[in-house]
């Protein structure tokens, strides 16, 4: 996932559509996971998503002539796929059984925060003072949001929002770790090979759990439609759009799509699921986005 690209290769009109479409698709992933996990369960939802995603990406990979690269780098990409897809997808599928799509999407926006923290602790990529301030601000926003929303008291179904919030944060931590792993071990690997290999690895890791916890009752058409959307749109097509966005707009602008995802996720939740959004939740989201933008260098690009 670490091909070298120019910082920008196209005018804004050439990449803005990809940016908005990608944010809309990834924003919808929380809606799809919530719908699917209620009938498929946590592991079947996550496993089917990666399986369908791999089935979408592999023919494209072979068509682009990257078969040899997949054989060469397959073990690495598959191992990273466990952290980059298998664990996060399962965590979010679990979390969305008890918290709103908007809250989970806001917590997902902390991915660059954890990415910067892991790169600092593991790779020695010491951030500037401004980026350290961003880390502090971002995690303060997460703490405030979790403090207000998280409760470890089980509800009628035996679930609790506290464990759901922790599951979301575990997912974002895994994303941060996998980003550093990719930077260290996948340098020069074609992005399509990284994405397809990671979905294969995630599928292999989730397959036993998916089969063991397969729902006893056949899910309905709505759940199947949600699973199809997760695999084809939010995994397969989204990867293609994401790496095309990197090529056209540069890595920094592609990374900023993380900030637009909650806007769509919250909108879908309010319009389609009747979810409510509080002023406290919105305020914490703004604090998290500000901290993330500072810690990732987007608001201070000269000092990365």
- Tell me, yes or no, whether 291 lies in a domain: yes
- Tell me, yes or no, whether 147 lies in a domain: yes
Give residue 140's pLDDT. 86
Tokens of 186: 């996948």
Q: Give the least confident one: 63-72, 134-143, 176-185, 240-249.
A: 240-249
Stretch 157-183: mean pLDDT, rounded?
85
Give residue 152's pLDDT. 66
**DSSP category for residue 53:** H
Tokens of 298: 């987007």
* Contacting residues for 216 by C-beta, under 8 A, at least 6 apart: none
294 touches 134 (CB < 8 A): yes
- Tell me, yes or no, whether 5 lies in a domain: no
Give residue 137's pLDDT. 85
Residue 129 confidence class, pLDDT cut points 50, 70, 90: confident
Stretch 165-175: mean pLDDT, rounded?
92
Model pTM score:
0.85
Query: Is the per-residue pLDDT at 189 higher than 70?
Result: yes
Task: Tell me which residue range forms the domain holding 171.
Answer: 12-295
- Tell me, yes or no, whether 118 lies in a domain: yes
- Tell me, yes or no, whether 4 lies in a domain: no
Counted domains in the chain: 1
C-alpha to C-alpha distance for 265 and 281, rounded to whole angstroms: 14
- Tell me, yes or no, whether 102 lies in a domain: yes
- Tell me, yes or no, whether 6 lies in a domain: no
Stretch 45-53: mean pLDDT, rounded?
96
Residue 3 confidence class, pLDDT cut points 50, 70, 90: very low
Q: What is the dihedral of CA 59, 61, 64, 69, to 10 degrees?
A: -140
């Amino acid at each position: 996932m670490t091909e070298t690209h120019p910082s920008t290769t196209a005018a804004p009109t050439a990449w803005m559509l990809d940016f908005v479409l990608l944010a809309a698709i990834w924003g919808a992933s929380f809606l799809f996971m919530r719908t699917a996990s209620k009938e498929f369960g946590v592991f079947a939802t996550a496993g089917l998503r990666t399986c369908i995603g791999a089935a979408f990406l592999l023919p494209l990979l072979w068509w682009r002539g990257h078969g040899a690269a997949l054989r060469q780098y397959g073990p690495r990409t598959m191992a990273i796929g466990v952290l980059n897809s298998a664990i996060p997808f399962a965590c979010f599928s679990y979390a969305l059984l008890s918290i709103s799509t908007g809250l989970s999407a806001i917590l997902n926006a902390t991915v660059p925060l954890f990415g910067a923290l892991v790169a600092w602790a593991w790779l020695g990529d010491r951030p500037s003072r401004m980026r350290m301030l961003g880390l502090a601000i971002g995690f303060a926003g997460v703490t405030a949001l979790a403090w207000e929303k998280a409760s470890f008291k089980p509800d009628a179904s035996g679930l609790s929002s506290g464990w759901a919030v922790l599951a979301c944060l575990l997912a974002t931590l895994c994303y941060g770790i996998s980003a550093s792993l990719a930077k260290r071990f996948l340098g020069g690997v074609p992005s399509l090979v990284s994405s397809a290999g990671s979905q294969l690895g995630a599928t292999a890791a989730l397959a036993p759990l998916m089969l063991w916890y397969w729902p006893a009752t056949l899910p309905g058409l709505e759940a199947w439609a949600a699973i199809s959307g997760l695999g084809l749109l939010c995994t397969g097509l989204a990867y293609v759009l994401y790496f095309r966005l990197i090529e056209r707009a540069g890595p920094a602008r592609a990374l900023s799509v993380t900030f637009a995802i909650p806007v769509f996720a919250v909108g879908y939740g309010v319009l389609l699921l009747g979810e409510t959004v509080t002023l406290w939740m919105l305020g914490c989201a703004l604090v998290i986005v500000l901290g993330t933008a500072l810690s990732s260098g987007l608001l201070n690009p000269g000092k990365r």
